[in-house]
Amino acid sequence: DAGVIQSPRHEVTEMGQEVTLRCKPISGHDYLFWYRQTMMRGLELLIYFNNNVPIDDSGMPEDRFSAKMPNASFSTLKIQPSEPRDSAVYFCASSPRTGVRGHTGELFFGEGSRLTVL
Amino acid sequence: AQKVTQAQTEISVVEKEDVTLDCVYETRDTTYYLFWYKQPPSGELVFLIRRNSFDEQNEISGRYSWNFQKSTSSFNFTITASQVVDSAVYFCALSEAPYNNAGNMLTFGGGTRLMVKP
């Protein structure tokens, strides 16, 4: 089975440019999460969706960040305009609805998108 | 508010030594779940184990074992006879009341970097 797929794996851009990160969750999973990993702040939850609807975006750092989930198989995280402090690894994760038989409660992570803003 | 603390930022051992990674958590919920994830040098996050707050039985899986103690709010991870391939960053994480359809929002600790030298 295919896992969570993220693209691009690496992105280098200049300050002020728009960045779009993409995620394809595991088919059938109801929840999708965007996390950011930096040396200073570790792993932080940015936003999560349930059935394509944003539930909690309190972790989104500022208005420059936006996330969408137009359908069950695709989500984007956009940064516009990007700044050097946005440099990080961005992880997408998905999970089935909790309580589903056999589900042990873990999140399934993609391989991450490493963003460098110069 | 929930919090996970991994006091050991970095541990270095020689192959075949046993090593314990500490995890202390804070939560107001009586129902919660604890997780350990491994992040090898390749960068992905790999699920290792989940424990619910009602089950304090220790668990062993091969060279890995976990000690959950509610009295001290700790969920420690021991690797027996460590190997070079165990070198990675290990994250402890907490999810509160995931069975209320709120999704498995994980709060991660800062991680412990384990280096196993040959």
User: What's the pLDDT score for residue B98?
Assistant: 54
d(C-alpha A76, C-alpha A28), whole Å: 18
pLDDT of residue A101: 52
The pLDDT value given to residue A102: 52
Is the pLDDT reported for residue B88 higher than 80? yes
- Residue whose tokens read 């399934």: A108
A112 and B105 within 8 Å at the Cβ level: the answer is no
Q: Taking residues A46-71, report their average pLDDT.
A: 92
Mutate which: B36, B100, B105, B107, vs A, most A CBs within 10 A = B105
- Stretch among A61-65, B68-72, B100-104 having the lowest mean pLDDT: B100-104
Mean pLDDT of B61-67: 91
Please report residues of A whose CB lies closer than 8 A to that of B102: 55
Q: Is A50's CB within 8 Å of B108's CB?
A: no
Kindly state the tokens that stand for B31.
């129902």
Say what the pLDDT of residue B57 is. 79
**Residue B90 and residue B111 in contact, taking contact as beta carbons nearer than 8 Å:** yes
Amino acid at B40: P
Nearest by CB: A111 against B33, B43, B95: B43
On chain A, the residues whose CB falls within 8 A of the CB of B107 are 45
Q: Per residue in B3-49, pLDDT tens?
A: 999 999 999 999 999 999 999 999 988 888 899 999 999 888 999 98
Mean pLDDT of A42-64: 91
Q: Check whether A43 has a pLDDT greater than 90.
A: yes
Q: Which of A89, A106, A110 sits opposite B50 (nearest CB)?
A: A106
pLDDT at A100: 55
CA distances from B67 to A18, A107, B54, B55, B115 (A): 46, 22, 14, 11, 21
CB contact under 8 A, A107 and B106: yes
**What's the pLDDT score for residue B16?**
97
**B101 to A99: CB separation less than 8 angstroms, yes or no:** yes
Q: Which of A105, A111, A112 sits opposite B104 (nearest CB)?
A: A105
Q: What are the pLDDT digits (tens) for A72-100?
A: 999 999 999 999 999 999 999 998 876 55
Q: Where residue B61 falls among pLDDT bands split at 50, 70, 90? A: confident
Quick one: pLDDT at residue B2?
A: 84
